[in-house]
Amino acid sequence: MFPYCYRCNYRKNGIEFHLNAKNFKEHNIQLGCSGECIKEVETVLAKIIKKLLLTIIEPLNQDASGMIVMPPGYLKEYSDIC
């Protein structure tokens, strides 16, 4: 469920890496994305909300290929869902 736009399962077209989005919705508009990654989080959290005490999210994911950074505003959207 980590939002990685380059390898997004829901992306249908190419990706432009020189984006200047200020928030998650603007980022999605620039990419032509419907924000399925945050909808997936919302679905999972809705199923377990009564058993959930807290969520821990790592803002940067280090991978063998380098550091993967979340889209702009993703953490704010995640926080709003919680």
Instruction: Encode pLDDT of 3-57 as tens digits.
Output: 777 778 777 666 666 568 888 888 888 888 888 888 888 898 888 888 877 888 8
Q: Are 28 and 11 within 8 A, CB to CB?
A: no
Residues 6+ apart with CB under 8 A from 67: 60, 61
Q: Which residues contact 68 (CB under 8 A, 6 or more apart)?
A: 2, 4, 60, 61, 62
> Which pLDDT does position 67 carry in this prediction?
75
Check whether 1 has a pLDDT greater than 70. no
On whether the CB atoms of residues 26 and 37 are closer than 8 A, the answer is no
Strands (E) in the chain, as ranges, are 60-63, 66-69
